[in-house]
Amino acid sequence: MAGSGAGGGGRSFSFKVVLLGEGCVGKTSLVLRYCENKFNDKHITTLQASFLTKKLNIGGKRVNLAIWDTAGQERFHALGPIYYRDSNGAILVYDITDEDSFQKVKNWVKELRKMLGNEICLCIVGNKIDLEKERHVSVQEAETYAESVGAKHYHTSAKQNKGIEELFLDLCKRMIETAQVDERARGNGSSQSGTARRGVQIIDDEPQVQSSGGCCSSG
């Protein structure tokens, strides 16, 4: 797992969070909402939502969150490992009106657990709850599934700005916990993970069980 970049002094953490999910589930809108469209003018590629950062202060602990968007089209699935390596957290987004996008989340969970083990904090997010009437993924099914894989489940609406703050706050708290446990396990040694985890190979995944239906590309 990536080093949590826990700096000395007044405890500060740097976390990498990767956004995964099908093309049109609203990943980008979700993160844009969270960052309130306030782009970091220190970034060279400002005004874009592919890479966003947010600073938080949780109980006196400073957290620098780097949110990495990924391309959700099926075509880009095999590029996943390049993006999620060294991630502290993953936000797996599906559209509650699209059963297929939930299946896709399950595939991601399987892959992440296989590749990164239990150190990565997983959040499964049912987005678009403003379209409750068109819901195709039952709340119970989703929550039961999330629990079964050690992930937390959230309901959000990027459109109505619901549930997003809570999602990121919870995730940060869990990542802090994980980082601290990790640190203790290492006997407070320097948690310099530096180059140890570099050099990820792309894995061609087997043509596995296909998910259903279809979805428009990107969103």
Partner 1 sequence: CPSPSSRLCRTRNWRPFPTWGSVSDTTHPALPPGLLPQPPTPPPQARGVGVHGPPRLLPSAAPGPPLRSMSDAVLAVLAPEKQLARAVEGLARDRSTRLGASVQDFLTLVRGGGVEWRSSHELLSPIRTFLTHTKAQLLQSPALELPSPTLLPDHRLDAVLEWALHRCVLKPLKAVLASRLRRLRVADGSLGQLRENLQMVRERGPSAFPARAPLPSPPDTQRARRKLLQLLRAYSPGTQVTLLLQACKGVYRAMGAAPDGSYGADEFLPVLSFILAQCDLPQLLMEAEYMMELMEPSQLLGEGGYYLTTLQASLALLGRFHEEEPRELCPNFQRALSWRHQPPSERPPGSPCQVRGEVLGGESLMGTPCYPPSPCPLSTPPCPLPTPYPLPYPSPLLAQPAPITTGTCSVPIPHVTPSLPLHLPQCPLSPCPHPPPPPPAHAHSVPDLLCLPGATA
- Interacting residues toward partner 1 by CB under 8 A: 2, 5, 14, 16, 22-24, 27-29, 31-32, 37, 39, 43-45, 47-51, 53, 66, 68-79, 82-83, 86, 99-100, 192, 194-195, 198-199, 202, 204, 207, 209-219
Residue 82 or 150: which CB sits closer to partner 1?
82
CA 83/CA 20 separation, integer angstroms: 10
Shortest distance in whole angstroms from residue 162 CB to partner 1: 18
- Three-class secondary structure of residue 60 per DSSP: coil
Residue 188 or 210: which CB sits closer to partner 1?
210
Shortest distance in whole angstroms from residue 1 CB to partner 1: 13
- Three-class secondary structure of residue 65 per DSSP: strand
Shortest distance in whole angstroms from residue 93 CB to partner 1: 12
Residue 76 or 145: which CB sits closer to partner 1?
76
End-to-end CA distance of the chain: 29
Contact 41, 61 (CB under 8 A): no
Q: How is residue 155 written in tokens? A: 């309901």
CA 56/CA 54 separation, integer angstroms: 7
Q: Side chain identity at 184, as an amino acid letter?
A: R
Shortest distance in whole angstroms from residue 151 CB to partner 1: 22
Residue 169 or 203: which CB sits closer to partner 1?
203
Shortest distance in whole angstroms from residue 214 CB to partner 1: 3
Residue 29 or 156: which CB sits closer to partner 1?
29
In a 10 Å sphere around its CB, with 0-12 CB exposed, 13-18 middle and 19+ buried, how is residue 149 labelled? middle
Residue 103 or 126: which CB sits closer to partner 1?
103
Q: Side chain identity at 52, as an amino acid letter?
A: L
Shortest distance in whole angstroms from residue 79 CB to partner 1: 4
- Three-class secondary structure of residue 54 per DSSP: strand
Q: How is residue 166 written in tokens? A: 């809570």
